[in-house]
Amino acid sequence: MVFSDGLNLIPGGKDMASKLKVLLSQEEIKEKVRYLAELVSRDYQGKAPLLICVLKGAVVFLSDLIRNLEIPVEVDFMAVSSYGNSTITSGVVRILKDLETGIDNKDILIVEDIIDTGLTLSYLKENLLSRNPRSLKIITLLDKPERRVVDIEPDYCGFCIPDEFVVGYGLDFNEKYRNLPDICILLEFQ
């Protein structure tokens, strides 16, 4: 088990490290984010899309993504919660924090950390479409296509990953591990 930035970032230190396995290193992530930013910059040439970041997990991805973009952008945040525990999505979604402005006639890019069953994003997409944006696309860093229960696909995707619960690079388990620079599989839940 090797962490690029040391065990001191992991709650529980060395003991907890044995419960984590690196799936995507920070170098791989950095390279992919640059690539995604190139695609987005190219596709939105001459436009200034509003990036809607889904809190909290996508914050790290958003902050790296926008610094690699070569187009003007606006940023806003939404927080949603799915009823249920922290590892299983129920499909019933509640808006905890809504956008600050209307999106009528704007080009919207939803920024997600991970798509799992697709239920959260499906709800969010329908909700935002009802507000009449000019266009709406989805970018996600991670996708677990095996787990999908609704028909929804991202327009841009960083990595397709296996059906494992991952943490780091913004993703948490019970609010822990968000600050890990790598994306890791959580091998034990406690």
- Single out the residue of 64, 116, 143, 182 in contact with ligand 5GP (rule: CB under 6 A): 116
Q: List b or e across 158-190, with b for residues whose CB sees 16 or more CB atoms inside 10 angstroms.
A: bbebeeebbbbbbbbbeeebbebbbbbbbeeee
Q: Does 51 bind ligand 5GP (CB under 6 A)?
A: no
Nearest approach in angstroms of CB 186 to ligand 5GP is 8
User: Which residues neighbour 86 within 8 Å (Cβ) at sequence distance 6 or greater?
Assistant: 172, 173, 174
Least CB distance to ligand 5GP at residue 159 (A): 12
Of 139, 129, 128, the C-alpha closest to 44 is: 139
Question: Residue 77 or 173: which CB sits closer to ligand 5GP?
Answer: 173
Which listed range, 28-36, 37-45, 63-71, 115-123, lies at the site for ligand 5GP (CB under 6 A)? 115-123
Nearer to ligand 5GP, 20 or 117 (CB): 117
Would you tell me which residues interact with ligand 5GP (CB under 6 A)? Answer: 57, 82, 89, 112-121, 165-167, 171-173
